[in-house]
Amino acid sequence: MPTFAGIKRQFLIAIMGRSQETVGKKEKEKKKAQKKREKVERAEDRKANNSKGKSLEDMMAYIDENGNISAVPPDPRKKKVINHEDIQIGVAKHVAEDYDPIRNGVVTFFNEAKGYGFINDLQSQESVFVHANQLSEPIKEKDKVTFETEQSPKGLSAVKVRKTL
């Protein structure tokens, strides 16, 4: 029958004989080796696809008649001549052909004490600010008026306001 000391000695021999590497350590070493291989592969790929030493023609890119980038030069027969004065930079101002500077509206609010009010434009249904200085005659709420508009720092303002009959 084995003694306690004998069992203990066999156990110690079994433990000491095992590898000291854990599963986690092995996984980390595998990942590290994989990253090293990938780095070497990327370096070899860069060396193989190196653009240094290429001729100017190999590096040249062209734009065809439709504005697409291509590797071949465009056909000179399809070349279009463009006058530089015809090129418009920015957006052209939109001017309506049937634009009438005189508008019609109805006074929706007017405070005589403060000297301002608002006119509802009948054409665009916008509310336009009006100041007492821009009136040719006194107005009150629900009066029909004709006016012109002017752009002010705070928006549209009515000018040359007159009552209509």
Per-residue pLDDT tens for 58-74?
A: 788 888 878 889 888 88
42 vs 13, 30, 51, 52, CA distance in Å? 47, 18, 15, 17
Amino acid at 18: R
Handedness of CA 133, 139, 140, 144 (dihedral sign): negative
> CB–CB of 82/90 below 8 Å?
no
pLDDT tens-digit readout, 38-62:
999 999 988 887 767 677 777 888 8
Domains of the chain, each with CATH number or no CATH = 103-163 (2.40.50.140)
Structure tokens at 65: 């008649």
**Model pTM score:** 0.41
Residue 163 burial (10 A CB sphere; 0-12, 13-18, 19+): middle
Residue with the bigger pLDDT between 38 and 24: it is 38
Q: What is the pLDDT of residue 39?
A: 96
